[in-house]
Amino acid sequence: MAKMELKRVGIFSSAKISGIVGAGLGLIIGVIYGLIMMTVGAAMLTQNSSAAGPGAGVGIIGGLIMMIVIPIFYGVLSFIFGALYAVIYNIAAGFVGGLEMEFENTDSGYAAPPPPQWSANQYQPGQQQYPYS
């Protein structure tokens, strides 16, 4: 088993991954809340009151807007906090050291490929011999 220590985290890399994961979670949450709000709006349409029409429209349109706005909001906030976390981690790792991780090779049948067998008078890949000198 190989022990390694994570000394530094790429700030933009961490922010990108956090933003994408946050937007994905926001999509799930936004769809759930949006469907609930749309269902409430549709239920208001069944009432015979005169105020039910505008309230139902707000509920249905609000549900659609939630399905769009919440993933964007979660994605942007996750991007910002992912970058902030990476900056704080890099500062802390400079003082106390990074995370210690232990890796194990699970595929024991893997072997590195052999080195290329080129002779001195052969051209290597990427080289060309031109007919003119």
Nearest-angstrom CA–CA distance, 11 and 79: 10
Q: Which two tokens stand for residue 109?
A: 């049948």
**Local confidence band at 19 (pLDDT 50, 70, 90 cut-offs):** very high
Nearest-angstrom CA–CA distance, 116 and 41: 69
For residues 95-105, give the mean pLDDT.
86
Q: What is the pTM of this model?
A: 0.68
Q: Which two tokens stand for residue 110?
A: 């893997």
Read off φ and ψ for residue 113, nearest 5 degrees. Answer: -70, 155
